[in-house]
A and B are shown apart, each in its own frame.
Chain A
Amino acid sequence: MPRPKTMTSLRTKLVRTMIATLVVVTFATVMVVAGLSYVSSRATLASIEGHLRAQITQKGTGIVANQALALRDLVADNAFGDVARLVERTVEQDEQVVYGLFLSADQHPWGYAGRASGSSSRFDTDWRGLDALMGPPAGSGVSSKTLKLHDETVYEFGTTVVDDKGAALGSLRYCLSDRPLQQALEQAHAASRRSLAMAVVVLLFLGAATSIVGMFRIRRAATHITQPLAVLTAAVNSFAAGRRNARVVIDSGDEIEILGTAFNRMATELTDYYAQLEQLNRTLEGKVEERTHALAERNRDMRLVLDNVDHGLLTVSLTGSLAPERSAIVDRWFGAPEPGMSFIDYIRRIDPLYADELDLGLEGLRDDFLPRDVSLNQLPLRIHSGASEYQCHYSAILTDTGAIEGVLIVIKDITAELAHAREEADGKERLAIFNALAKSRLSLLAFVDEVNEHLASLPQAPVEIQRRILHTLKGNAGLMDLNLLRDLSRCLEDELAETCAPLGEASLAPLMRRWRTLTDELRGLVGEKGRNLLEIDGDVLTSLLAEYARDCHDGTYDDLSHERGANAGMEEERARRQRIRDQAGARLRDGVAALALEPAQKQLRRLGEHAEALANRLGKGTLAVEISDGGVRLDPRTWEGVWAEMVHLIRNAVDHGIEPEALRRQAGKAIPPTLKLTTRLVGNSLEIEVADDGGGVDWNAVRAAAARRGLPHATDEDLRESLFADGVTTKTHITGVSGRGVGLAAIRHEVDMRKGHITLESTPGVGTTFCLTFPLSQVGPHFGVDADGRRREDRPDGPGGERGRSLGGVAET
């Protein structure tokens, strides 16, 4: 962490700098002056010393020179005493002279004087010792030497005294001490030191005084200079602190004044900007408030819609997160989601299967591997929640660039709808039962018996049998408008096709349940005894009775009878009348017996109606159905099986055989197409025939289909056989109607069971005829009129048959 900056004011800096400068300058001056003084005083002293020395020299030289002259005469006169006195006097008189000596030419001292004891006792020394010190003076003139004598520096001056002729008479020496010199010098030194000290003191004093005064002045000046700066600083701080009207007045005539002016300008501008900004802010706030208000209103409106709409509207991102804006009804249906909960987790609590499928679907949309529409269309359509069912519709939510960013889900509660539809279907089916009962009771009852038998065997049956049973049930239920039953059968048929494994009890349960409901209803309508009730056409019965009455009456009571009776005899007449009555009775009995059998025409007509409806549904236009029943009547219970499977031949003819109208026109064939349904007794057989004038069997397609199934397909016989095999179909895809390859195999089965055979004739472009032939011995009770017009019969109670079942029981529930 940086140290807090220590602020030093400009004034202080200025003051410090200036004072420092002042002190330095003062000090320097003092030093320089002192130094100079010292130097000059030393120079002075040196010059004094020089002078003094010169003085000594002068003096010494003078003395010696003068005395030498003086002595000349004396020496010449050999005035030893005068010489000695002169020397002594000289030394005595002048303190400065240390000694004097005159040496004759032969080195005899004629005069010597040294300082005696007393103040100058130092120099009291034997003249002999002196010699050691000095040598003879050199040449003429005065020579001088500087000597050390008793630790003192002395100056000896000497000369050779010469006579007029120039012969050396002797040497004269005088030695002067420099004590006076020294003393003088010392005094001078002292004086100079004193004056120097004085100078320094004065200088220092002056310096201090200057400094102090200077300091004050400096401070004042600094303050004065920096005061505008302080003013400016204060103003700036004040401005920064928020007093926006802070301004300065500075006229210091320097940069600070410029700064001050600039500050004023800036401050004014800033203040203006602030004001503008505040204004804008207010405006903005006002706008935002307006906008927020408008948005809140819109939100309210939207909320109103979402809260009251009865469809669940919600949006989900591609990752499954649920947007909070959704219609309130969703929460009512499924509960409130926890905050931040994804839609998948939310709906999983309700319907885990839907949640998984949706999750998978959204993953597909995220992957973007399959086309977007395919992924959307494969999203699950139903939510199942306890007793409620919901239907879902999806729309893609796109960004501006067309990329998908989410899905809008619209959920509709269809529980009521479905329940209503089921009720309606249920009602219709019950009505259909009722209708079937009314229209062809025996047929219905026989159908019921057959279905009971089949359903009993269904759970344990292998796959193929299950397939066959379901296929037939579907067809017949459809024929009779038992739509729920038909749909249940179709679903099971699909499941069987998908899994290729026998269906278990759980899968079959809904079908069984429905059948039980229907049979309960039926039992209610029919009652227990009702099974044995017969449907008898009242007109037929009346006409039978009328015929009987007529026969009897005509036979016995004609206009001629009386006469005949009169002519022939009573016995004969009675016998004849009896015969007639017997014949009439037999005819009546036959007629009544026949009533118990169902006319084949009923079945043929039913099949014909179905064919017409089917042709319409498949867009083949109207169909001309020709029925020729040959008066055949058959026991419905034993023949229900065959009639049930006849529906496949009808389908075959209408779906595969008969061409679309356009094609027929092109081929120049008759419009409308014809379907002939025939039953007849021929020789020892019963024949049932279905003939169409369509395009005939496509043998190439049959060959291909047979090949695919691995069946023999070489000869025509092979091909015909293969047509009846299980799983052979020439249809390339399964429609609701055909294509499963079950139909012909089923009918083959029924025919085989009754020891009959099927033949097939087909001419390409012309038509196809299926003919079922049954030996009469296997037919059971029947009636019919054969080709010769002869009535053929096998009465229920008569010879050749018994009232009963020749094909094994059809179990009663």
Chain B
Amino acid sequence: MHPKILIIDDSDKIRQEVRHMLAAQGYEIIEAVDGLDGLEKLRAHSDLSLALCDLNMPRMNGLELLAAVAKTDLKTPILMLTTEGQPSLIRRAREHGAKGYILKPFRAGHLLDVVNRLTATAG
């Protein structure tokens, strides 16, 4: 059973980094390049364990994506990826329904710890 993780980020490198860190641990990674793409993929894959979402993206950014998701009945937990020093933005993300945040650049083991825990509790 490969838990599915969705990574929504317009940066190639970030998506690659996420894939690099998680694929080897047995997670299936779905990629999306911006908010709209992310929304599509959220709808398309009903068995996602978790979605990781950047805040700054073209076409539809992280906050807009959260607002759009809130209107649906999608239940996938969404974590924001963000750099330091933006607490007000993160707070707004939480108000829009994000479950938490992970700082970029990724610190050693954080991403894996988070994903392991969240997929374990999801069962």
Contacts and interface: CB of A to CB of B under 8 A. Distances in A.
Interface of A: 353, 356-357, 359-360, 363-364, 367, 369-371, 373-375, 377-378, 380, 497-500, 708-709, 727, 732-734, 739
A374 B13 contact: no
Contacts of A373: 113
A353 B87 contact: yes
Contacts of A380: 84
Contacts, number: 70
Given A360-B91, A498-B56, A499-B56, A733 B83 contact: no
Contacts of B19: 732
B85 A739 contact: no
Report, as a range, how many residues of chain B touch the other chain: 20 to 34
Interface of B: 10-13, 16-17, 19-20, 56, 58, 77, 79, 83-85, 87-88, 90-91, 94, 99-104, 107, 110, 113-114, 116-118
Contacts of B90: 360
Contact of B103 (A367, A378, A732): A378
A378 B17 contact: no
A734 B14 CA distance: 9
Contacts of B102: 370, 374, 378
Given A353-B87, A371-B113, A733-B20, A497 B11 contact: yes
B101 A378 contact: yes
A356 B113 contact: no
The 6 closest A-B pairs by CB, nearest first: A356-B87, A733-B17, A357-B87, A732-B16, A371-B113, A370-B100
A450 B113 CA distance: 46
A367 B102 CA distance: 15
Contacts of A374: 102, 110, 113-114
* Most chain B CB neighbours (cut-off 10 Å) among A374, A708, A732: A374
Given A498-B56, A500-B56, A733-B16, 8 more contacts: A357-B87, A371-B114, A374-B114, A497-B11, A498-B11, A500-B10, A500-B58, A732-B17
A364 B87 CA distance: 12
A498 B110 contact: no
A739 B114 contact: no
B19 to A, nearest CB: 8
A369 B117 CA distance: 9
Q: Which of A370, A500, A727 counts the most chain B CB atoms within 10 A?
A: A370
Contacts of B100: 364, 367, 369-370, 375
6 contacts: A353-B85, A356-B87, A356-B91, A373-B113, A374-B102, A377-B110
B18 to A, nearest CB: 10
A732 B110 contact: no
Contacts of A363: 94
Nearest to A370: B100
A499 B101 CA distance: 18
A733 B13 CA distance: 6
A366 to B, nearest CB: 11
Nearest to A495: B83
B13 A739 contact: yes
Nearest to A355: B87
B75 to A, nearest CB: 14
A680 B107 CA distance: 47
B84 A371 contact: no
Contacts of B104: 498
Contacts of A369: 77, 99-100, 118
A359 B117 contact: no
Nearest to B87: A356
A391 to B, nearest CB: 14
Given A364-B100, A377-B110, A370 B117 contact: yes
Contacts of B117: 370-371
A628 to B, nearest CB: 37
A363 B87 CA distance: 12
Nearest to B54: A498
A431 to B, nearest CB: 31
Nearest to A729: B13
Contacts of B12: 708-709, 727
A23 B77 CA distance: 97
A498 B83 contact: yes
Contacts of A360: 87, 90-91, 94, 101
A364 B99 CA distance: 9
A137 B63 CA distance: 147
A447 B40 CA distance: 50
Contacts of A364: 100-101
A500 B11 CA distance: 9
Nearest to A357: B87
Contacts of B13: 497, 733-734, 739
Contact of B20 (A353, A708, A709, A732): A732
